[in-house]
Structures are given as structure tokens and as C-alpha cells.
Chain A
Amino acid sequence: MNVKKQFREGLLTNNPVLVQLLGMCSTMAITTTLFNGIGMGVSVIVILTCSNIVISLLRKIIPSTIRIACYIVVVAGFVTIVDLLTQAFLPSLSESLGVFIPLIVVNCIILARAEAFASRNGVAASALDGIFQGTGYTLVLIVMCVIREFLGSGTFGGGLLGPDGAGIRILPEGVPATFLVLPVGGFLTLGCLIALMQYLLRRREDK
């Protein structure tokens, strides 16, 4: 088990969003305010870690023919638990994330990590994988949120800071380009981030 390597892979060299290109739908859909990004990120870390642990524990008894079905049952179970808990104890979060919490079930990151990592590795390594890959996803969400919120709404920390949680206004009203908080802005921001990441990784390889 190589903690350092797993850490670096999850956050940078094998980042789920920017390198593996997984979970792009939620990445583009919810990154409009910082609060959404952090909420979604934490939910995914929790679900990914739990499902990785359980799948790693059960990897010997799951018949390979129905493994995907079993993974989905486990993942769906954890997603529903998180969904119910946020609805009960963090209602404002569940409201602003809406349907995207239940949709974590089909977030490819979770199934991909179950198949590629948890089903082949021990419990501790799988748990770490969940935490690191989840953190990698969360970091991308936060970067996307900060960029899109700043350029699209002209604020920082929407849903968390400022009056009524509307965020701290940096750009005056009317200046920001609203299209950046729309889906098209998600595509543009994510595209630029992926390009930047690939450029940096390639440059490092060349050295």
C-alpha cells in the first residue's frame, strides 16, 4: 500500500474529473456557487469511501457475473442514506443540490472506483482511495465554483458568506457574464481546466 502514490493520483495525476474524465455531468451542473460545490464534494467523499469499503469487504463473495448489479445496490443504498440525512439535517443543501444528490448513484466516479480499485484491493487501501479520489473531485468542484461564480455572478462564497448567504460581491452587478453560470459556462470552464491539467502533466513528463 502506497499512501503517497494514492494521494498524488487522486488529487493530480489520476484526478477523477480532469484525467479520468468521470463524473462530468454533476461537475458541470452544480458548480454555480461555492456552497453547492463543497456540499456535493463532501457527499461524494462520504459515499465513495463507504461504498469502496463495503465493496472491498465483499469482493470475495460477490459473483463476478452480477458484480455491477451488486455495486449499484450498495452505492444506491449509501446515496439514499446521504440523501435522506441531508434532507433531514441540512435542508438548504438538499434544496440547492436538488436532484443531483440522488443522481450520485449514476456518478461514474463511484462505479469506476468500485470496479477498478475496490474490487481488487484491501479495505484500508480502498478506503484511502475513496477519500483521495473524492477529494480530487471536490477540489475540481471548488475551482469550478470559484471561477464560475466570480465571472458569472460576480460573487465569492455564494450560499455560505455575505448577506443572506448570497456571497460577497466582488464585481458590480451587470458586469458578470450570466452565461457562465448556465450549462454552457460549465462546458467552457471544464474544458479550459482539462486542457490546463493535460498541459501541466505533459510538461512534467517531458522533463
Chain B
Amino acid sequence: MKEETRRSGPGMFRTLITLLLFGAVVAFLLGLVNQVTADPIADHKEEKTRTAMQDVLPSREYSEILYEGDPLIKTVYRAGEQGWVIEVTPSGFGGIIDMLVGVDPSGAVTGVSIISMSETSGLGANAARESFRSQYVGKTGSVKLRKQGGEIDALTGATVTSTAVTKGVSAALAAAAELMQEGGQ
């Protein structure tokens, strides 16, 4: 025991300092890189959301409005007189699917766009395809997959991603209906 303390004494100190220095230098460098990249990264995110918004419901301006209720709903934007753009986050196969749903004042879907997801490539990731997303356009009330007696063709037999997207669209429609009632009163 005594011998071991003597042996690791100065070595231990040097080890500690070296590792500490490594950590400090790397952290400092990363801080510098982060300063350069933080703004472009934030810009890309914003631009992406903006393009997706224009895609689902074109409008000159979008203003975020307060909505509380369904936890699936992340944010609600009022798109002038055109309706609402609702960001929903249902859970798919590979985690959360972040998507936007446009709803017009008559309560019909104007478009669906996926901001980010981690679904299986070649299967669930095909949800980003126009041919799948466009099935939701014009739907009202509550949407269902064909398997459940609805009108949406699922992407795969397992329907995990399709079910999630459908759930997201339904949640957005329900929220829009609520907002419409509030607006009417």
C-alpha cells in the first residue's frame, strides 16, 4: 500500500494535469468553432421551417399563437387569413417525427411537410415523398389509414410511420377546430 502511494504520487499529479489540459484546450477550441457556426446553423433551421411553412400553407406572414392542450402539438402559427400552420411531433419508429400541417379556415388540410425524422431509410423515410404526403390534402375531421377503414394508403404493412403521421395530422385538425370555435365566439 505504502509502496503504491509512493509510486503513483508524482505520476498521478502529472496524469491529472495532462488530462485537465487536454480537456481545457479542446473545450476552448470547440468554443471558438461554435462561435463561428452557431449563427449559420440557427439560420438554416429557421429557413427550413419557413420553407416548410410556405410549402404547407402559403402566406405572407406567420405569427406564433398560444395553444395549450394536446401535448403532441408543439407550436401553432396563425397564417394571416389563410388558416393555421401547426407543428406536431408524433412518435414514429425511430423517435419523434417533427412535422408541419397546414389547415385552412374550413378545417381542411392544405399540406403536410416533414421537418425532421429518423425513420428507417427505404421504408418509413418515404413519408417525406410527395405521393404520400399529398394524400392528406383536403382531408377534414379525423384521418385514418385504409387498414382502419380510412382513406390513407400506408407506406408499409407495419404502418408505424404512417400511423404516426396520420395521428399528427388528426391532432392538428382537432387543434384547428378548437381554435376556429374560439375565433367564432
Contacts and interface: CB of A to CB of B under 8 A. Distances in A.
Interface stretch (A4-12, A19-27, A75-83, A118-126): A75-83
User: Interface residue tally of chain B, by bracket?
Assistant: 20 to 34
Interface in A89-145: 89, 91, 95, 98-99
Nearest to A73: B22
A181 B23 CA distance: 39
A84 B120 contact: no
Contacts of A98: 118
Contacts of A69: 19
A70 interface: yes
A93 to B, nearest CB: 12
Interface centre among B11, B48, B122 (most CB of A within 10 A): B122
Contacts of B19: 66, 69-70, 73
Contacts of A61: 18
B22 A70 contact: yes
B26 A73 contact: yes
A85 interface: yes
B49 to A, nearest CB: 13
Given A77-B26, A178-B122, A181-B122, A85 B18 contact: no
Interface stretch (B36-44, B74-82, B146-154, B167-175): B36-44
Contacts, number: 63
Interface in B69-91: none
Interface in B119-137: 120-123
Contacts of B40: 88-89
30 contacts: A32-B122, A61-B18, A63-B14, A63-B15, A66-B15, A66-B18, A69-B19, A70-B18, A73-B19, A73-B22, A73-B26, A74-B26, A76-B26, A80-B33, A81-B29, A81-B33, A84-B34, A84-B41, A85-B33, A87-B37, A88-B37, A88-B41, A89-B37, A91-B44, A99-B118, A152-B122, A153-B122, A178-B122, A178-B123, A181-B121
Interface of B: 11, 14-15, 18-19, 22-23, 26, 29-30, 33-34, 36-37, 40-41, 44, 48, 116, 118, 120-123
Given A32-B122, A77-B26, A153-B122, 18 more contacts: A63-B15, A63-B18, A65-B15, A66-B19, A70-B18, A73-B23, A77-B30, A80-B30, A81-B33, A84-B34, A84-B37, A88-B37, A88-B44, A89-B37, A178-B122, A178-B123, A181-B122, A182-B123
